[in-house]
Amino acid sequence: MSDKQLNCARIAEAIFRHRVWVLVIFSILTVMLIVSATNVRIDAGFKKLLPAKHEYMQTFFEYQKDFGGANRIIIAISVKEGSIFTKEFFDTLKAATDEVFFIPGIERSSVTSLFTPNTRFVEVVEGGFAGGNIIPAGFVANDKWFEIVKANILKSGKLGRIVSTDFKSAMISANLLATSGEAGEKIDYIGLANRLEELRQKFQRDNVEIQVIGFAKLIGDVVEGLTDVGLFFIITLLLTALLIYIYTRSFKLTLLPMACSLIAVIWQLGLLPIIGYGIDPMSILVPFLVFAIGISHGIQMVNAVRVEASRHNDSKKGAIIAFQQLLVPGGVALISDTLGFMTILLIDIGIIREMAIAASVGIAVILLTNLILLPVLLSYSPVSCFSKTRVGRYDAIWKRLADVFTYKNSIRIVIGALVILFAGLWQASSLKIGDLEAGAPELHKDSRYNRDIEKITSQYAIGVDALTIIAESESGACTQYSVMEEIDRFAWHMQNVEGVQSVISLPQVAKIVNSGLERRQLEMERIIQKPICTGSIGYAF
């Protein structure tokens, strides 16, 4: 007997000699981790989607306070018939703006709508500049003021940005804070999504509909869909149980590997809060993966115990021998899986790292539940359970399949595999990376969130994705013509890139300002030079 076999025999002897205590310890740990699993939280975060250490992201974080973040919500209030210039619509827009302002997690200074003071218009008039709030302080919802507001919208350049191009919708937008509350707690994205949904239900009318998009709302809709995931999990359990029963012909041998795999999932969920992690809605399928791997290894153990128990007519002895046979190969396989998931930690994206940690914990737990607990439980099963397993009935099928892999046929199989390989490489050249369709790929194409995205992008000259480009230069660069010209050329180039809906840059604003200043200068020169032309005493500049 080799040293490896001797060590396995010693471990097996220690475990099965005290198998009652093994079951007691596993039972206590399972109860404790069930309690811990009740504390597992849905942990979503916008920054977890970003490669935080990438140089582009470092620039983003450096200027986030100055230019605003990318994590924002957009609420579009639309009318089904007519235009927005009605008392009912403006009352709804103002009330909704006020409510958004007080939602926890909203950066209040960033709230933007027609009723916020940060939406202003500037126009160049004969004397220079004139401007003010789009909705003046003395606004009254009547036809006279509606004409003024409409003119101010056109002057402001906000058409297509906070008011739809067809005047059938107006927008409320706001950035989200990184944390909320005095204690600096993480934003409760699910609670925020629920508040946004309550706002939708509160202000939606027969002729008024509301669209809401943004990361927070996306997370809310994903979590809302977890009910369907739970139903899918139940269906998966039933189908798995049916397949195992067809193989084992024993309810006990069907339940034991499933129970051990479920215990592995429970342990995984219970350990995550202990090590300070939660479950991200985007990686909610990790427990399914753990369960599937557990079932795979569990069936291998059941089959090994069946063979040895039938040979020795003793379930305990069969379980001990099977344990010795599978401890090393099964352990190596599971450890390899664990290390494989841990290598994903090298990817510097928070959500992927958390998924890797959750999966690694789950696979590591299977080492205990399926390689120790399961054979101990099987050792208590009567030998008659294993005799019901019908393996021989499929021998004819496997024999025919084995006959295919002869020397002559193997050459054909290799040639076929090579043909498929080259075909795959040829098609890989046209592989597209990223989202292939509009909207959120996490949800169905006809989901309410994706319908909201389609509605907003069709009414406004903006997209869901905003690309912010920051030009860094020396101090005072805004007054240097060469720098401003370069930025202006780049903005023009971006305007002509396919897929870009609108571009706004500092030189565009500067042109309007300079236009007004030039008009003002000409007016000043006209006033100053006029007395000289009439023969009066004056000064020429």
Q: What's the pLDDT score for residue 10?
A: 82
Nearest to 106 by CA among 170, 45, 163, 181: 181
Q: How do residues 515-527 score in pLDDT, each as one tens digit? A: 655 555 545 444 4
Exposure string for 334-354, b = 16+ CB within 10 A, e = fewer:
beebbeebeeeeeeebbbbbb
**DSSP helix/strand/coil, 312:** helix
Whether residue 393 has pLDDT greater than 70 = no
What is the end-to-end Cα distance of the chain in Å, rounded? 109
CATH of 3-38+230-396, one of 3.40.50.1820, 3.20.190.10, 1.10.1060.10, 1.20.1640.10: 1.20.1640.10
pLDDT above 70 as % of the chain: 87
Encoded tokens for 61: 């974080």
Q: What's the pLDDT score for residue 263?
A: 93
- Is 83 exposed, middle or buried, given 0-12, 13-18 or 19+ CB atoms closer than 10 A? middle
Q: What's the pLDDT score for residue 94?
A: 92
Read off the pLDDT band of 401 (50, 70, 90): confident
Task: Tell me which of 65-74, 322-331, 447-456, 479-488 is least confident.
Answer: 65-74
Nearest to 302 by CA among 379, 242, 396: 379
Exposure string for 121-141, b = 16+ CB within 10 A, e = fewer:
beebeeeeeeeebbbeeebee
Report the half-sphere exposure of 473 (CA within 13 A, side-chain side): 13
Q: What's the pLDDT score for residue 524?
A: 46
Q: How do residues 338-371 score in pLDDT, each as one tens digit? A: 888 888 888 888 888 888 888 899 999 998 999 8
Distance CA 169, CA 77 (A): 5
Exposure string for 109-119, b = 16+ CB within 10 A, e = fewer:
ebbbbbbbeeb
Highest mean pLDDT among 57-61, 124-128, 167-171, 504-508: 167-171
Q: How do residues 222-276 score in pLDDT, each as one tens digit? A: 888 777 777 888 888 899 889 888 888 888 888 999 999 999 999 999 998 898 8
Q: What's the pLDDT score for residue 126?
A: 67
Instruction: Delimit the domains of the chain by residue range.
Output: 3-38+230-396, 71-223, 477-533
Whole-prediction pTM: 0.75
Whether residue 387 has pLDDT greater than 80 = no
